[in-house]
Amino acid sequence: MKGFLAIAFVCCLVQAIESCTVIEDGTSVLATHNMLRARHGAPNLSYDAKLASHAAAYSKKLCETNTFDHDKNELSHYKEGENLYYGKTSVQVDVCLATYKWYNEVNDMEWNKLPTFYNFLPVPSNLGHFTQLVWKGTSKVGCGTAYRKEGTTYKTYITCRYSSPGNVIGQFPMNVAPTSKSRLGLTDVCSGCSDSDPAYCSTINAATDCTRGFFGIADICKKTCGKC
């Protein structure tokens, strides 16, 4: 699988509008988000239809223009936070997978930097999805997916919008908390995606994912579809 999280940019290759299928992901996004937030003492999110509508529209825009980047002007106008995912797979992926990809950035957190480096400088691109996901001051979420099929490949764009937005400079220590579980205690993180789900299994690259903390698979998490 070739997967990218937001901050990456893909050159424009305009596609026909009708080639993209758009899905508002509904309340199904809550279970995964809230399970992961609970690990860090963050309160449950509620579903917001307006956020979901904005998210679906933005995923559609990315899909139709074959681009991948945040629209900071739009986010400022709506006063929303955002996580983005883009993937090229043999089967369609869903927001469950994207959410775990974002959360897995926890493995790159250097918690001693939370009150200093992370708090006073723009959040590093390899951490911002995780910190938005578990941001305590965020109370609402809505997500949307757009995809198109090119031959045997699905190109999938997933957007989640958040209110109030996270990753606010100067507010990290009170909004992002370490997990109460050890770094190795990630087995339950895998419970949201089935081990036999083709959309999940197609994303596992045995050459790389089995040796790094991709959801904590291999020795930590057994949902490896027999690839590790």
DSSP output for 112-140:
GGTTTHHHHSPPPTTTHHHHHHT-TT--E
* Number of domains the chain is built from: 2
Whether residue 4 lies inside any domain: the answer is no
Domain limits for position 213: 195-227
Task: Give pLDDT tens digits for 180-189.
Answer: 654 433 434 4
Q: How far apart are the first and last CA of the chain?
A: 16
CB 55 within 8 A of CB 144: yes
Is the domain of 142 the same as that of 222? Answer: no
Reference 157, options 95, 91, 103; nearest CA is 95
Whether residue 106 lies inside any domain: the answer is yes
Nearest-angstrom CA–CA distance, 76 and 70? 11
pLDDT for res 96: 84
Task: Give pLDDT tens digits for 6-63.
Answer: 433 333 333 344 489 999 888 889 988 998 899 899 999 999 999 999 999 999 999 9
The pair of three-digit structure tokens given for residue 193, joined into one six-digit string: 């995606």
Is the domain of 149 the same as that of 212? Answer: no
Is the domain of 86 the same as that of 170? Answer: yes
Is the domain of 26 the same as that of 120? Answer: yes
Low-confidence ranges of the chain (pLDDT < 50): 1-2, 4, 6-18, 182-194, 196, 211-223, 228
Is the domain of 36 the same as that of 142? Answer: yes
Nearest-angstrom CA–CA distance, 194 and 23? 21
What is the number of other CB atoms lying within 10 angstroms of the CB of residue 160?
A: 30
